[in-house]
A and B are shown apart, each in its own frame.
Chain A
Amino acid sequence: MRFDNVFRLGIKELRGLVRDPMLLVLIVYSFTLAVYAGAKALPETLNRAAIAVVDEDHSPISTRIEMAFTPPYFSEPRLISQYEMDRRMDAGLDTFALDIPPDFQRDLLARKSPTIQLNVDATRISQAFNGGGYIEQIVSAEVAEFLAHTRNAQAVPIELALRARFNPELKKSWFGAIDHVITSITMLSIILTGAALIREREHGTIEHLLVMPVTPLEIMVSKVWSMGAVVLVASALSIAFVVKGWLQVTIDGSLALFLVGAALMLFATTSMGIFLATVAGSMPQFGLLLIMILLPLQTLSGSMTPRESMPQFVQDIMLAAPNTHFVMLAQAILFRGAGLEAVWPQLVALALIGGVFFVIALRRFRAFLA
């Protein structure tokens, strides 16, 4: 392999990229607006959750509870009759329906331990879980305060002082922003290298390269380094200016270490791009393949939902994907400020996966050229 050739061919790839406005727009968009939108668009779990109250008591305490549900977490509670409740839930109009029984206040004061019923539409999984917890807290707080006016209850004075580390206010935008940078890195590295190869083949220039004293290895390495470098620089800029600057996300860890991980990740994904481009006959086929590959990579890598809630076999399979390790590494470094001593296993895994992908892609690329 001659490094001079690899360098020149890589420069040629970069020049080609500069002359493709569509791809440039895609790169800029993915690392700026998409990251911003990704940070802002993530719905807070509870946003104007639709709640209805069946108030059969009409007492001061039931009114008090009704008044406690306010935007932005909940929509203004709608007062409905018990008859309406089932119909409205069936139609999907309400996520929660709180049924306060008759004589609730009287029974409460008489220590009869009355029961409030909370109906949750469990098909709305995102609101059902946390919303139920919130409602429970709100109701018990209101009841406690109401009772505080009447008399004191004995309680155990043990407090659970819960604090969230790394993201004290649990801002979803922090998570969304980083998640989108990771997504953009995967997507763009595959698209750019794949498109570079397909473009070359569609223009008939790949054949031309092969009559020159250039080896397939040199051609492939030139595409891997040039497109990898573009994505690496773009992601570094994106973290520095969009994530830190624009979105004001606190980043604890070392950006340099993250970029080392990203470089290894790019080694694997650019190889994947080459591989896919040799499998696909044309740009449209490449695009279809991309959908089938990219979505599983992203959804199952642990960037959207935690890995531990997936079935064991899915977790095992996904260990072969570079994204899984990269997501672990990125979250550890960027959120938790982890250092090399914590993330070295991921770096090793990425290097190994990258190496295997590269060799497979190179074989496939050679066969494809012959």
Chain B
Amino acid sequence: MSTTAAAEAPAADGSVVHLEGVGLSYGKARALESITLDLPAGCMVGLIGPDGVGKSSLLSLIAGARAIQDGRIHVLGGDMASSRHRRNVCPDIAYMPQGLGKNLYPTLSVFENIDFFGRLFGHDKLERDRRIAGLLRDTGLTPFADRPAAKLSGGMKQKVGLCCALIHDPELLILDEPTTGVDPLSRRQFWELIASIRASRPGMSVIVSTAYMEEAAQFDVLIAMNAGRVLATGTPAELRRQTGADTLDEAFIRLLPEADRGNHADVVIPPRSEDHEEIAIEADHLTRRFSGFVAVDDVSFRIRKGEIFGFLGSNGCGKTTTMKMLTGLLPVSEGTARLFGNTIDAGDMSVRRRIGYMSQGFSLYSELTVAQNLDLHARLFELPAETIGPRISEMVARFDLADVVDSLPDALPLGLRQRLSLAVAMIHAPDILILDEPTSGVDPVARDQFWQILAELSRKDNVTIFVSTHFMNEAERCDRVSLMHAGKVLTSDTPAAIVAARGTATLEQAFIACLEEAIAGTADAAIQPAPAPAVPTETASPPRKRGMRFNLTRMLAYSRREALELRRDPIRATLAILGSVLLLFVLGYGISMDVENLTFAVLDRDDSAISRDYSLQIAGSRYFTQKSPIIDYADLDRRMRAGEIGLAIELPPGFGRDVSRGRHVEIGAWVDGANPTRAETLRSYAQAIHATWLAQKGRELYGEAAIAGSYQLQLRYRYNPDVISVVAMAPGIIPLLLVMIPAVLAALAVVREKELGSIVNFYVTPVTRLEFLLGTQLPYVVLAFGNFLLLVGFALVVFRVPFTGSFPTYALAALLYVTATTGMGLVISAFMNSQIAALFGTVLVTLIPAIQYSGLIDPVSSLQGAGALIGRLYPTTYFVTISRGTFSKGLAFDTLHNDLLALAIMVPILVIAGAMLLKKQAR
């Protein structure tokens, strides 16, 4: 394997991938630095190295999922910088990103997930069913076809991921850490599956990254990476020979530059002295049930003081649950857990002081510095104040944290952060340490350093250590290990005894034997791969239609998937269906401008027939409710301050007498100005009532002379003769709700994919941007239109808003409108990377223009400047006109066609803008 030859003609000499001077930066951080490589075709190529050295970045570049920054990448004979080549070649590449089930849709079943990929690659129903049946059979997943992906074990998720990757017969299979977090048996099955597929398709090339050196030893070619650079390439044997190491683990450590190796020394754990026979941890028939399944089933073991006890098993087999029961985090369903002979009580604080616990996703406060983290924990454990300082210094010295005490944990490398976590767990000098996968993702050097500390704690300080791990070389260091599977402990003994009992060469093989035995005895036997996997895709693969610009099947595949996902997410579905009706109800009543039941009270200092007549005039109005009379100014003041009365009237002494004699009289009136809108209404009502009363009196006193020179002002409230707010508001609120919620949901749909990582399926499959967007949009258009019907129905039935115009016109406008508003959501999604930002961003962007500038409150014709411009460009403006026109004004298509046309023009503009802004690769 040469890294220099054939740089000009990359595909000619049988290399499948050719990289030249490839570099990549995330912001300021440099992830890859001038990588130049040739990967041979038809081989199994392994990328090895710890987390964060650039393996995943390199693989995503090769897969075309990430845009190239520096250098050149040729894959399958073409330049990956060219979008035309990527489009042509992507049906031949399959990419499985890192993370268990990262590209799967958790709420979709196994079958639905694979089916989705089949649709993306344009297989018809018959073809898909045939292929899926074959793949499920080969991977032993047939019995689980209907199980949601989220409820699968790690190993099963990875197999489903593999099925999705293999459905289209790729020539190049790219697997990013496919077996991290998977139990040894599933891991072996996984590789057997890959081997059998390769056997039946010899031309297929496979590129894999892994952190397990045992696995890497089986690959054809290895590329060792560190800090964004390639350390060495060659066959496993060559690498070992180069470095003179026995194992690949050692070889890798020796390949590291001196500085990174640190003061690495092989971990030596002295044998345990046998004088401690005190039992530290005892689990006795421990069982934990969650609704529907048993997570931990009848588990028993005893751990002696000072022992290092290892716990192995796949993700989801019950290790973490067992550990949580021992720490008192979870109550036990059955059985007992004892620490030093005392039964654990979840509420007992004294137990917690004896335990140090490190949970899986590190439990450090990323907002506190290293010193602050240590200090907080010391105080929460109530260390005496005078000992806190010395204890922290001691931990800092012991765990070698002196250089980083003032740093934030997030700025530290993983290995160091793990040491800090351990220091935090040790701050109160517990007798027992419970460590849940403390070394996942940590590089071999840091892992060894970590174990060196564990060895010291156990042997010198006599701390009992209960640790779970995926690494066999770590398991071998434990005094005793237990293997868990599906909630049960399969075996528990010293590593040497387990190997001897099984008669195998390594601990790993011994465990696999145990697992196979356990599985054979259960109904899960089907998990085993069929003995000779008939590779499903060797026959009759249909001719692919390449380079198609728009394909309805692919678009509908996205629609179908989106609809399924939406149906299974209760909070989103509720918002989508009921949210708008709830809000119509709330706003219909809340933005009501009907001012009724206004409170008023009278301070009547006259108490004559005329003054009482004046009060009655107000009380008779349907807008006012009379409160008990006011006694004096103090009473008036107090009651107005308390908000009890909105209008206070003072009729002066001698009011009746003065009125009768035609003398000038002044009536005092005070309006509560706290709410200015209400105050204005109050004022105008009061004036109107006063005027009516005056006219009446005038006629009584002066006869017809009073009418002289008068005129009538006839008020015609059109479209809403009773001036009921909700009749006016509902047709205005419907457009508002149909912009906010559909836009939010559409934006979330895309951004969710970005945040959860399944967007990578869009990057690496033949789906075009338009197919992706329209496919995602379609279910939301349907949903929003259904919502529209629901809202109209609600307005008609509950609010009793009369509908006077043409419903077909209204419905057509609504369809155009929701297509435009969901399109707005898609445009917004291009600028957002997190769901929470998309959510609030979309609400802001839609709500303000829709309320302020779309004629909902002030007509667009009264707006000025930017507001008027936004109003004219915003779809809500037109739909508000149509909504009010058809609801209240009895209008139809002939009067509203201009507004409909405006909406119709916006739809393609928004969709095309969304497609232009969407990136077909990660950046």
Contact = CB atoms under 8 A, between A and B. Distances in A.
Interface stretch (A40-48, A232-240, A255-263): A40-48
16 contacts: A108-B709, A113-B707, A113-B711, A127-B859, A136-B715, A158-B694, A170-B676, A204-B363, A208-B363, A213-B353, A213-B381, A288-B571, A295-B583, A305-B591, A309-B597, A338-B643
A120 B718 contact: yes
Given A159-B665, A332-B642, A306 B675 contact: yes
Nearest to A8: B379
B670 A165 contact: yes
Interface in A89-125: 89-95, 104, 107-109, 111, 113-125
Interface string B347-384: 10110110101011111111110001000110111100
B718 A122 contact: yes
B698 A156 contact: yes
Contacts of B686: 160, 162
B585 to A, nearest CB: 8
Q: Which 9 A-B pairs have the closest CB atoms?
A: A208-B363, A299-B590, A167-B673, A284-B835, A164-B673, A122-B720, A204-B361, A335-B674, A16-B367
Contact of B380 (A8, A41, A175): A8
Nearest to B881: A92
Interface in A204-230: 204-205, 207-215
A212 to B, nearest CB: 5
Interface residues of B, number: 138
A288 B575 contact: yes
B723 A90 contact: no
A80 interface: no
Contact of B709 (A116, A147, A165): A147
Given A124-B859, A211-B329, A287 B667 contact: no
A164 B671 contact: yes
A133 interface: yes
Interface in B463-496: none
Interface stretch (B25-33, B60-68, B887-895): B887-895
A4 B891 CA distance: 69
A356 B444 CA distance: 53
A126 B681 CA distance: 11
Interface in A76-91: 89-91
B626 interface: no
Contact of A213 (B352, B687, B710): B352
Interface string A288-317: 110110011001100011101111001000
Given A16-B365, A156-B697, A310-B589, A113 B884 contact: no
A141 B350 CA distance: 85
A115 B586 contact: no
A292 B732 CA distance: 19
A203 B361 contact: yes
Contacts of A159: 664-667
Given A212-B381, A300-B590, A165 B671 contact: yes
A1 B360 CA distance: 28
A111 B640 contact: no
B365 A12 contact: yes
A311 B589 contact: yes
Interface in B677-692: 677-681, 683-684, 686-688, 690
Interface string A120-151: 11111111111011001101100100010011
Interface string B693-723: 0100110011001111111111111111101
B331 interface: yes
Nearest to A330: B674
Interface string A184-217: 0000000000000000000111011111111100
Given A116-B712, A288-B571, A338-B642, A161 B672 contact: no
A125 B725 contact: yes
A308 B597 contact: yes
Given A89-B718, A284-B835, A156 B674 contact: no
A158 B885 contact: no
Contacts of A164: 670-673, 679, 683
B37 to A, nearest CB: 37
A175 B840 contact: no
Given A8-B379, A90-B889, A336-B643, A114 B712 contact: yes
A337 interface: yes
Kindly state the interface size class of chain A when it binds its partner: 35 or more
Contact of B716 (A117, A292, A328, A335): A117
A285 interface: yes
A129 B723 CA distance: 8
Contacts of A147: 709
B23 interface: no
A324 to B, nearest CB: 12
B792 to A, nearest CB: 16
Given A8-B376, A89-B718, 6 more contacts: A15-B367, A94-B861, A128-B717, A205-B363, A210-B329, A304-B590
Contacts of A168: 673
B582 A296 contact: yes
Interface stretch (B9-17, B308-316, B543-551, B850-858): B850-858
Contacts of A160: 667, 669, 686-687, 690
Contacts of B376: 8, 12
A207 to B, nearest CB: 5
Interface string A307-347: 01111001000000000000010011001111101110000
Contacts of B130: none
A244 interface: no
A305 B881 CA distance: 24
A257 B381 CA distance: 39
A304 B675 CA distance: 9
A205 B376 CA distance: 13
A108 B713 CA distance: 12
B590 A170 contact: no
B687 A4 contact: no
B904 interface: no
B587 to A, nearest CB: 6
Contacts of B694: 155-156, 158
Contacts of B902: none
B717 A120 contact: yes
B678 A306 contact: yes
B680 A45 contact: yes
B586 A304 contact: no
Nearest to A287: B839
B513 to A, nearest CB: 34
A71 B363 CA distance: 63
Interface in B217-263: none
Contacts of B360: 204
Contacts of A291: 575, 579, 744, 839, 843
A118 B714 contact: yes
Contacts of A157: 662-665
A35 interface: no
B641 to A, nearest CB: 4
B594 A309 contact: yes
A47 B231 CA distance: 72
Interface in B643-675: 643, 659, 662-675
A164 B681 CA distance: 12
A96 to B, nearest CB: 10
A122 B880 CA distance: 14
A117 B714 contact: yes
A331 B643 contact: yes
Find the residue from B327, B697, B718, B727 having the highest chain A CB count within 10 A: B718
Given A5-B380, A92-B859, A159-B667, A124 B583 contact: no
B711 A108 contact: yes
